[in-house]
Amino acid sequence: MDITWYVVLSALLFAIGAGGVLIRRSPLVILLCLELMLNASNLALVAFSRAQGNEDGQVFALIVMVVAACEVVVGLGLIVAMFRRRLPLNVDEMRDLRG
């Protein structure tokens, strides 16, 4: 299998994730789409690592996983906090940045 296939697949997954972030309104689902994007980049990293012939890309992918985990922890904590305060779980409701 040419490495090109894997990278194109990664691009596709990334685009799907980006579209999902833009379309969905629930913060939880947006975080899930974020995970999609991160995983897509992981796939690209691993593919390139195979293409290069050394494992640096794989280590990078591991660290990305670590970062993703941390981000999930904080994000979910936020969502739970929102839920506890009876705030509507809708990204569109949070408009305090309005100019």
Partner 1 sequence: MEAEPGLTYVAFFAGAIGAVGGAVAVIALRNPFYSVLALVVHLVSLAGLFLLLYAQFVAAAQVVVYAGAVMVLYVFVAAYLGAVEEPIWEPIPGQRFLAPLLAAALFVELAIAILGTGLSALDSSGPTVHLGFGSPAEIGNLLLERFLVVFEAASMLLLVAAVGAIVLAGRQREAER
Partner 2 sequence: MSATTYGWLVLAFPLAGCLISAFGWRVLPGRAAGWIGTAAIALAFLSSIGALVALLDKPVQSRELTSSLYSYASAAGLDIKLGILVDPLSVYMILVVSGVSALIHLYSVAYLASDRGYSRYFSYLNFFVFSMLLLVLAGNFVLLIVGWAFVGFASYALISFWYRRHTATRAGMKAFVINVIGDVGLVFAAFFIFRDLGTFDYLSVFHAAPQHFSTNQGVLIAICLLILVGAFAKSAQLPLHTWLPDAMEGPTPVSALIHAATMVTAGVYLIARTHPLFELAPTAADISAFIGLATLIFAATVALAVTDLKRIIAYSTISQIGYMVVGVSIGAYAAGLFHLMTHAFFKALLFMGAGSVISAMAGTQDIDRMGGLRRALPFTSVLMIVGALALAGFPLTSGFFSKDEILVFASNRGGFYWIFTVGGYLAALLTAFYAFRIIFRVFWGEPVPEARELEGGHLAHAEPANPLTGEPEDTDVGFPGPEHHIAERDRPMWLAMATLGVLSIVGGALQIPGLDHVIETFLRGSFLDSRLYESVPSVLADWEGLAVGGAVALAGIAAAYFVYVARPGTSAALARRFRPVHAFLVNKWYFDELYDAVVYRPAIRIGRFSTGVIERVVVDGIVTATVDAVRGIGVVVRGAQSGFVRAYALLLIGGFAGLGLYFLIVSS
Q: How far is the CB of 58 from partner 2 (least distance, A)?
A: 26
Q: What is the DSSP letter of 3?
A: H
Task: From residue 56, give the alpha-carbon distance in Å to each of 12, 40, 52, 61.
Answer: 23, 17, 9, 9
Nearer to partner 2, 59 or 94 (CB): 94
Site mask, partner 1, residues 2-41, x = CB under 8 A? Answer: xxxxxxxx-xxxxxxxxxx-xxxxx-xx-xxx-xx--x--
Nearer to partner 2, 24 or 50 (CB): 24
CA dist 70 and 15 (Å) reads 23
Q: Note whether 97 binds partner 2 by CB under 8 A.
A: yes
